[in-house]
Amino acid sequence: MSTEITTSTVNQAVSNTLSDEELALVDAYWRAANYLSVGQIYLLDNPLLAQPLAAEHVKPRLLGHWGTTPGLNLIYVHLNRIIRHRDANVIYVTGPGHGGPGLVANAYLEGTYSEVYTGIEENTEGLRKLFRQFSFPGGIPSHVAAQTPGSIHEGGELGYALVHAFGAAFDNPDLVVACVIGDGEAETGPLAASWHSNKFLNPAIDGAVLPILHLNGYKIANPTVLARIPDTELESLLRGYGYRPIVVSGDEPPDVHQQLAAALDDAFDDIASIQRAARSGEQTERPVWPMIVLRTPKGWTGPKVVDGNRVEGTWRSHQVPLAATHENPEHRAQLEKWLRSYRPEELFDQQGGLRSELKGAAPSGDRRMSANPHANGGTLLHDLDLPDFRDYAVPVELPAAETHEATRVLGTFLRDVIARNPDRFRLMGPDETASNRLSPVFESTDKVWLSRTEPDDDHLAPDGRVMEVLSEHLCQGWLEGYLLTGRHGLFNCYEAFVHIVDSMLNQHAKWLATSRELPWRRPIASLTYLLSSHVWRQDHNGASHQDPGFIDLVANKRAEIVRVYLPPDGNTLLSVADHCLRSRDCINVIVAGKQPALAYLGIEDAIAHCTRGLGIWPWASTATGEPDVVLACAGDIPTQETLAAADILRRELPDLAVRVINVVDLMRLQPPSEHPHGLPDNEFDALFTRDKPVIFAYHGYPWLIHRLSYRRTCHAGMHVRGFKERGTTTTPFDMVMLNDLDRFHLVMDVIDRVEGLASRAAVLRQRMADARLEARRYTREYGEDDPNISGWTWAANERSER
Amino acid sequence: MSTEITTSTVNQAVSNTLSDEELALVDAYWRAANYLSVGQIYLLDNPLLAQPLAAEHVKPRLLGHWGTTPGLNLIYVHLNRIIRHRDANVIYVTGPGHGGPGLVANAYLEGTYSEVYTGIEENTEGLRKLFRQFSFPGGIPSHVAAQTPGSIHEGGELGYALVHAFGAAFDNPDLVVACVIGDGEAETGPLAASWHSNKFLNPAIDGAVLPILHLNGYKIANPTVLARIPDTELESLLRGYGYRPIVVSGDEPPDVHQQLAAALDDAFDDIASIQRAARSGEQTERPVWPMIVLRTPKGWTGPKVVDGNRVEGTWRSHQVPLAATHENPEHRAQLEKWLRSYRPEELFDQQGGLRSELKGAAPSGDRRMSANPHANGGTLLHDLDLPDFRDYAVPVELPAAETHEATRVLGTFLRDVIARNPDRFRLMGPDETASNRLSPVFESTDKVWLSRTEPDDDHLAPDGRVMEVLSEHLCQGWLEGYLLTGRHGLFNCYEAFVHIVDSMLNQHAKWLATSRELPWRRPIASLTYLLSSHVWRQDHNGASHQDPGFIDLVANKRAEIVRVYLPPDGNTLLSVADHCLRSRDCINVIVAGKQPALAYLGIEDAIAHCTRGLGIWPWASTATGEPDVVLACAGDIPTQETLAAADILRRELPDLAVRVINVVDLMRLQPPSEHPHGLPDNEFDALFTRDKPVIFAYHGYPWLIHRLSYRRTCHAGMHVRGFKERGTTTTPFDMVMLNDLDRFHLVMDVIDRVEGLASRAAVLRQRMADARLEARRYTREYGEDDPNISGWTWAANERSER
């Protein structure tokens, strides 16, 4: 136990942790990383200052973030020491990821960079290229990103460092995830919630997370909240989150080196002892984990004053402290002095390589944080051991005859996926796994829970595979971290509230798109969403729970990354889920209902249908050749209403040739030029016709169907019904009526759009309009749907006709 | 100072706060609210149990949430007591808003419900209607919602209660916002961050927020994190957040009544003394505000055991504890016993009205929390005192000749908006106000900051009008709370990261849509976003900062609510901003660049152009009559590239009749049937032609333009360029080239699409392709754009031609 948070003076007990030699080595390595960081931000050429610095050596556009970088480099070199001393298995999650130059510098110093990017060698020319490419057209981004070896975390959008770190630690018992949290990031909601992830980390089977809260005091233009609250409040907050904070604070490098070395020794000792106690069974309660608070100046070792303004230790060091080094000789001279202050001649040899005596400061091989395989999870990925999903199928003798809860059917499959993969699959959900009817999983596992339990608690255990917390941010972030380190999972979520993680989805999609272009990044398991409790069945909750727009967001991402599936029943859901669990480097969105709903396809038909992604349902169609009208549908409720409409039409207008098409894989609607799943135009025309009216009943906002299909021949005749943002707490049939998606309205749409039908079927049209009014009247009088409507089956009428 | 958190036993000192009469009154009123809550969930008829409860008296579908409701009712009646005793001005923010029946019950008991909804009177028939309508088709939602008098907060999506409460308290010095936070909600990220809002609340000029953390222990199916951590950790956490927790804990009503009364007296005394000290100037530091931790059983006073399972005090009481009261006589008997346990005959008179002796438990008039005008902010709304925005215009003698930073121009206007409206306008932003070039506002105000300051801090002060915190959730939530209580504001945000609040936007849009249908809810100021640091100018930050998809999300909301503006320069931005600040009950999205960019229109032209929303720019067009091609553009960068393309075309293909159309108001593209701003078809045809090719350069994802215009005559010939999810850290021109939005590519698009031009302009087409290659080569060599490209102006060529 070293310094406690209430003191910011040097604790004498820690001042001798490092021998003089070690101190010198650590400091030199830190200077080397800082030198390379500044070089990346500023230099085009003359990387080792062999000549006096001239304008042409400096980049014309200065783009980068210095402020956080010296702190990131300091932590890095000290972790290197710990790794060497203990042969520790550590990865580094960089919350302040805009400090990209620091992580690139360290990967370069460790040799990893040159191994991965062979064009950038460990010599002067390599240094020149390393510097030049940073934040440069055709080069690398300014942030820690997929391109950065050793990273599982893009630092552009703040808030997710700690939750990613925990996701990486789950089921990785030997791993320590060091997670640097900037005090800016600490103000975000997702980060504030992430601290509580320690209630879900099991020291017996999971690795450890070491949060390092870096209080450099400033954001872009402001001080940070946590840097300016009293020390007692900060300590209280972190203890309240369940951690033991170890404080390192100062602005004299030798002193801070000693403090930080002692703090890390303390933290790693404590982690080891916590794990030992838990793994021997002697300690079963949730431990209080150590963490580090590091209080050092922003932009430390950079220019102290520029143009008369204080820079080091203030918000002014956030980006480039010297902004005019190209034009302004004074700035350039200050830059040269700054660079030379690191004494590059002591750090690099004549050829530009890191001096061999410094190389020993870093670990080697896979122990290098830049080369740790956990940070390139695809290299560790093992396929899931999947049972045959056919074994979980529900029997379907007649289509649309009996009801099942689709997600409950899936639950039986997931139960056995979990049982067979006890170390590599987790199911995330915000307190909704049972609500979403996946409860069969609790036959084989529990929900992770490390806190106190009470007698009426339901399936809580420290080693559960289901992770429930009322934070979509945590569910998403944990799963991302888990997938990025080479494991598998599924996120089940209420459809409306998955919008809470829109922005996280965006960032993960960008990560995947970039990773796919980097041959050294191996494919990881896809991020699969199961969205249930969807817009059409919010009987309890009403308007706030009704939003099918996540699909639209996903459809904006790169086509090669995204897949959207709308299986209409339990067996199609099984087939889709099996496919998604086998896929790699994608984002899969599955929307499926949890309420009892009609089953349409036996398992073999379901597989064939899902493999095609869309297709004609001949049993529901009256057209044998070219139809008069196409009824298309996507989603369980739209499918039910479409079939009910087809049922009315076949009985009332038996000579009308109706074709029913069901769409499972939404991306099939796009042309192949737009999406890899896109259906060729000729096949699309063969299904949807070139010129017949298409009445499309869709689960979500109707315009998405237009957007996906606007280049198709038949598009002008396509009429889409979907969610029009009309909703409240009401019955299922009232909901579809509010949005004109109901069977009666679909029949009216057919009558209105098939040429010549309007006059011939005027009476039927009026009956449909009356049926809507009557349905509404019934619902409002009795508080439930007319059983003749809610109990409709295709098969009943099918049988009666035999 | 009463009970501290470490004890859960009754503090004898507080057991006499209420006299026996007061205790009886409070308890009776609580029972009345509980009775009405259970009645709403279960009863169709027989509201006062005049007859034995029969199946037909019970709703067929039981939809509602009992678990949280008794706690909400308990807090409500105790706040009523405080309001009466102190003539306090209090509103009630219901975090666990699914406890809708409780808030409806209280509004009814106070008479407000019958005033607002005159069909529901204070008698037996009124009670019957009140019960029946709840969660019933054609009735009211199950959650606290816009329909609930006294609410500014929809409880469907959890996480925003506390941030709304703070937003309501800002600049309302006499108001106390009591905010109930469920322990489920407390697990969300936004809520976890919201606690720190106390660092931005100024006791001298703002009101107070009283957080009441209700630990009833359970979510839907799980215990909650905060209910199961040790008391010492919880206390430490809340003290770390900067509060003094006062604990109330128990399961015996008389005891808890005494504790809660004492705790509220303590809290309100403390608030008064904090405010007195701050307002007299004797205390200038941030105070430690009181808060209450209320630990009572979930589903308190409900059935203890149902079908052999414990219900009261467990997660099983979350929704309807007795699920089969319609079919199962035992459940029905249990329900009747439950209802009668509240002794309704003591609470309501023969006519079904609340007994007069109980009415005194509630305050009257505007002091009723259900009738407090702050919770219907439109009634308190004062227009902004706006300066004439023309006075801030930049002079534009020639179009596209000189550059300005559009947002800096806006900043000068906002500076004076702030100066003239010191009590009713706030500017929110996540540490980006200066970065977004709105820094002129700091000539008239500062950033709110209640913590310690240091010499290099920039414009921090307790009474600033700018609110910066690195949390988009807090910015959005504070502003929502501020607007909903009748004030004005603007949220400036990096374009990509506004996706962080997608889901909050969804909920606010739903609130506005519902409010518009309630005549008693008066219009409030619109929520206006200024999105800057947009996708095309992320020179520093690259891919993670590039996402223009918020517009797509907004366009999914109800048309009457949403407006999207893309002013191409500073003067159009002024005109649009002035319009938005005057608008009501809308969501306005303004996208505008912060980098130096060309100015196109003088202020009078800008006003005319923005009033039309879109229009031909004759000075940039070579077509005088019907054009051969239309170049349309929306957004500052697309406008620049379109004009540069038009410049090339007029010089290279002088006989080609080009029409340039700029779109400011994106919703003009939709038909009038789809959006109130929609342009009539004939006007659209007159502008865009019926059959000529349209090359549309758009700021965001291109398909949105297709979606908005797919019903227009010319749509088949419309070709849209926009962001195709290609980005990185690079130069501005490289970014547009990556996405084929550059001037050269637009010229190629024209050549490819105008009939007969391909052969005639083959050489020009090749030159354009070469120019792209050359531009890329230049950028990659020099790290900046070719000055011939980046320095392009229309006016230079215009002049040279004169």
Nearby residues of A260 by Cβ (< 8 Å), 6 or more positions away: A74, A75, A78, A248, A292, A294
The token pair that represents A789 in the structure block:
């409507």
Per-residue pLDDT at B222 exceeds 50: yes
CB contact under 8 A, A140 and B499: no
Residue of B nearest to A701 (CA): B556
Put simply, whether A141 touches B (Cβ < 8 Å) is yes
Is pLDDT of B12 > 80? no
For residue B494, give the nearest of B466, B530, B465 by alpha carbon: B530
Q: How high is the pLDDT of residue A799?
A: 52
For the residues of B565-578, what is the DSSP string, one character each? E---SHHHHHHHHH
Contact indicator for B570, B409 with CB cutoff of 8 Å: yes
Q: How do beta strands A447-448 and B596-598 pair?
A: unpaired
Whether B305 has its CB under 8 Å from any CB of chain A: the answer is no
**What is the rounded end-to-end Cα distance, in angstroms, of chain A?**
82
Q: Give backbone dihedrals phi and psi of A451, rounded to 5 degrees, phi first.
A: -90, -175
Tens digit of each residue's pLDDT (9 = 90 or more) over B703-727: 999 999 988 999 999 999 999 999 8
| Inter-chain Cβ pairs, chain A and chain B, closer than 8 A | 367
* Kind and range of the H or E run holding B777: helix B762-782
Lowest-confidence region among A38-52, A784-798, B486-500 = A784-798
Instruction: Provide the angle, in degrees to the nearest 10, between the axes of the packed helices B69-86 and B100-109.
Output: 40
Nearest Cβ partner for A784 among B60, B474, B782: B60
> Homologous superfamily of A399-598 in CATH?
Thiamin diphosphate (ThDP)-binding fold, Pyr/PP domains (3.40.50.970)
Per CB-CB distance under 8 Å, the chain B contacts of A470 are: 158, 184-185, 187-188, 219, 224
| pLDDT reported for residue B4 | 42
Residue A572 near residue A606 (C-beta atoms within 8 A): yes
Element at A782 (helix H, strand E): helix A762-782
Residue B554's closest chain A neighbor by CA?
A: A549
Give yes or no for A471 touching B (CB within 8 A): yes
The whole-number pLDDT of residue A431 equals: 87
Q: What is the pLDDT of residue B729?
A: 85
CB atoms under 10 Å from CB of A498, counted, come to: 28
- Dihedral of CA atoms A476, A478, A484, A488 in degrees, nearest 10, equals -90
Task: Kindly state the average pLDDT of the residues A553-566.
Answer: 96
Contact B456 A314 (CB under 8 A): yes
A684–B contact, CB cutoff 8 A? no
Q: Which of A437, A441, A471, A776 to mutate to test the interface with B (most CBs of B within 10 A)?
A: A471
Three-state secondary structure of A713-735: HHHHHEEEECCCCCCCCCCHHHH
Is the Cβ–Cβ distance between B206 and B171 less than 8 Å?
yes
Task: Output the CA–CA distances (angstroms, integers) from residue B96 to B67, B160, B261, B619, in the order listed.
Answer: 10, 10, 21, 58
Q: What is the pLDDT of residue B797?
A: 65
Please list every residue in chain A whose beta carbon sits closer than 8 Å to the beta carbon of residue B784: 60-61
Q: Which residue among A452, A553, A715 sits closest to B549, beta carbon to beta carbon?
A: A553
The CATH code belonging to domain A614-791 is: 3.40.50.920
- The confidence score (pLDDT) of residue A202 equals 98
Which residues from B are below 8 Å from A195, CB to CB?
192
pLDDT of residue A1 exceeding 80, the answer is no
Q: Is the pLDDT of residue B329 over 90?
A: yes
Higher-confidence residue of B730 and A197: namely A197
Whether A228 sits inside 8 A of B451 (CB atoms) is yes
At B785, phi and psi to the nearest 5? Answer: -75, 150
Predicted pLDDT at B284: 84
Q: Which structure tokens are listed for B678? A: 């929609």
**To the nearest whole number, what is the mean pLDDT of chain A?**
95
Contacts of B98 in chain A (CB under 8 A): 541
**What pLDDT band is residue A293 in, cutting at 50, 70 and 90?**
very high
Kindly state the DSSP code that residue A748 receives in the 8-state scheme: H
Instruction: Give the model confidence (pLDDT) of B590-627 as tens digits.
Output: 999 999 999 999 999 999 999 999 999 999 999 999 99
Residue A244's DSSP bridge partners are A290
Q: pLDDT, tens digit, for every residue of B480-527?
A: 999 999 999 999 999 999 999 999 999 999 999 999 999 999 999 999
Q: What's the CA gap between A121 and A115, in Å, rounded? A: 8
- DSSP conformational letter for B290: E
- Dump pLDDT digits (tens) for B35-77: 999 999 999 999 999 999 999 999 998 989 999 999 999 999 9
| B283, B274 contact by CB (below 8 A) | yes
Mean pLDDT within B264-269: 98
Q: Which of A133, A707, A185, A458 has the alpha carbon at shortest distance from B314? A: A458
Interface contact A435, partner B, CB < 8 A: yes
Pairing relationship of beta strands A614-616 and A658-663 according to DSSP bridges: antiparallel
Residue B213: per-residue pLDDT: 98
Say if A725 is an interface residue toward chain B (CB within 8 Å).
yes
User: With bands split at pLDDT 50, 70 and 90, how would you rate the model's confidence at A405?
Assistant: very high
pLDDT tens across B575-589, in order? 999 999 999 999 999
Beta bridge partners of B246: B292
Asked whether residue B10 carries a pLDDT value surpassing 50, the answer given is: no
At residue B3, does pLDDT exceed 50? no
Contact A23, A14 (CB under 8 A): no
Helices and strands, number each (H, E), in chain B = 28, 22
pTM over 0.90: yes
Residues within 8 A of B (CB atoms), A 763-792 only:
776, 779-780, 782-784
pLDDT higher at A798 or B246: B246
Gap between the Cα atoms of A380 and B512, Å rounded: 49
Read off the amino acid at residue A574.
L
Chain B residues in contact with A137 (beta carbon < 8 A): 730-731, 734, 776, 779-780, 783
Q: Which residues of A touch B198 (CB under 8 A)?
A: none
Q: Is B560 exposed, middle or buried, given 0-12, 13-18 or 19+ CB atoms closer than 10 A?
A: middle
pLDDT surpassing 50 at residue B9: no
Report the amino acid identity of residue A13. Answer: A
Q: Does B446 touch chain A (CB under 8 A)?
A: no
Residues of A772-786 as b/e, b for ≥16 C-beta within 10 angstroms? beebbebbeebbbbb
Contact B223/A447, CB-based, under 8 Å? no
Q: Where are the alpha helices (DSSP H) in B458-501?
A: 472-484
DSSP secondary structure, B226-280, as one string: HHHS-HHHHHHHHHHTTEEEEEEE-S-HHHHHHHHHHHHHHHHHHHHHHHHHHHT
Closest CB from A191, A240, A540 relative to B236: A240
**Residue numbers of B between 160 and 219 with CB closer than 8 Å to A:** 184-185, 187-196, 199, 219
Task: Check whether A800 has a pLDDT greater than 70.
Answer: no
Interface check for A543 against chain B (CB to CB < 8 A): the answer is yes
Output the pLDDT for position B155.
84
Instruction: Give residue A795's pLDDT band: very low, low, confident or very high (50, 70, 90).
Output: confident
Which residues from B are below 8 Å from A707, CB to CB? Answer: 703, 706-707
pLDDT-derived band at A155, boundaries 50, 70, 90: confident
The pairing of strands A403-405 and A309-310 is unpaired
The residue of chain B nearest to residue A717, with distances taken between CA atoms, is B711
Instruction: Report, as an integer, the average pLDDT of A419-436.
Output: 94
Residues in B touching A557 (Cβ below 8 Å): 725
Determine the angle formed by the axes of helices B231-240 and A231-240, rounding to 10 degrees: 140
| B373 token code pair | 């005008």
Residues of B with Cβ-Cβ distance to A471 under 8 angstroms: 187-189
> Which of 726-745 (A) contact B at CB < 8 A?
728-731, 734
**How would you class B463 by CB atoms within 10 Å of its CB: exposed for 0-12, middle for 13-18, buried for 19 or more?**
middle
CA distance B190 to chain A (A): 4
Q: Which of A187, A309, A730 sits opposite B469 (nearest CB)?
A: A187
CA distance A598 to A602: 12
Residue of B nearest to A140 (CA): B729
A-chain CB neighbours of B234 within 8 Å are 240
For residues B146 and A543, give the distance between their C-alpha atoms in angstroms, rounded to a whole number.
Answer: 11
Strand partners, A425: A488
| A468 interaction partners in chain B (CB closer than 8 Å) | 221-222
Overall average pLDDT of the A432-439 stretch: 91
Please provide residue A179's backbone torsions phi and psi, each rounded to the nearest 5 degrees.
Answer: -125, 110
pLDDT of A8 above 70: no
Q: Does B310 touch chain A (CB under 8 A)?
A: yes
Helix, strand, or coil here: A322? coil
Token pair, residue B766, equals 């090749």
A309, B451 Cβ separation under 8 angstroms: no
Q: Is A238 on the interface with B (CB under 8 A)?
A: yes
Helices and strands in chain A, H and E counts = 28, 22
Residue A61 is classified by DSSP as S
Window 621-680 of B, Cβ < 8 Å to A = none
- Residue A632, phi then psi, degrees to nearest 5: -105, 155
Asked, colleague to colleague, whether B29-374 and B614-791 share their fold, the answer is yes
- Mean pLDDT (chain B, rounded): 95
Query: Measured between beta carbons, which residues in chain A are less than 8 angstroms from residue B539?
Result: 61, 63
pLDDT at A14: 61
Cβ atoms within 10 Å of B244's Cβ, excluding its own: 18
CA distance A138 to chain B (A): 6
pLDDT (tens digit, 9 = 90+) per residue, A731-757?
999 999 999 999 999 999 999 999 999
Would you call A583 an interface residue with chain B, using a CB distance cutoff of 8 Å? no
CB-based contact (8 Å) between A685 and chain B? no
Give whole-number Cα distances, B214 to A257, B248, B420, in Å.
Answer: 45, 10, 41
**A168-189 burial by CB neighbour count: b if 16+ within 10 A, else e?**
bbbbbbebbbbbbbbbbbbbbb
**Which pLDDT belongs to residue B156?**
87
Q: Which residue has 């009558």 as its token pair?
A: A751
Across the range B744-748, mean pLDDT stands at 98
Element (H, E) at A468: strand A466-468
B499 touches chain A (CB under 8 A): yes
Nearest-CA distance from B331 to chain A in Å? 20
Q: Where are chain B's structural domains? A: 29-374, 399-598, 614-791
Say which amino acid occupies B715. Answer: H
Partners of residue B245 on adjacent β-strands: B291
Q: What residues are paired with B597 via a beta bridge?
A: B404
Residue A673 has phi, psi (to 5 degrees) of -70, -20
pLDDT of residue B802: 41
- Report the candidate in A508, A656, A540 with the shortest Cα–Cα distance to residue B143: A540
β-partners of residue B179 are B93, B211
Per-residue confidence band for B798, with pLDDT thresholds at 50, 70 and 90: low
**Hey, of A547, A674, A772, A784, which one would you mutate to test binding to chain B, going by the most B CBs within 10 A of its CB?**
A547
Residue B799, pLDDT score = 52
How far apart (Å, rounded) are the C-alpha atoms in residues A77 and A362?
7
Q: Using one digit for the tens of pLDDT, what is the confidence trace for A64-89?
A: 999 999 999 999 999 999 999 999 99
Q: B801 is written with which tokens?
A: 């031609």
- Residue where the block lists tokens 């439109």: B378
Residues 6+ apart with CB under 8 A from A205: A171, A173, A463
Phi, psi of B463 (to 5 degrees): -110, 25
Neighboring chain B residues of A140 at a CB cutoff of 8 Å: 729
- CATH topology for A29-374 is Rossmann fold (3.40.50)
Q: Which residues pair with B695 in a beta bridge?
A: B631, B719
- C-beta separation of B591 from B663 below 8 A: no
Q: Do A145 and B544 touch (CB under 8 A)?
A: yes
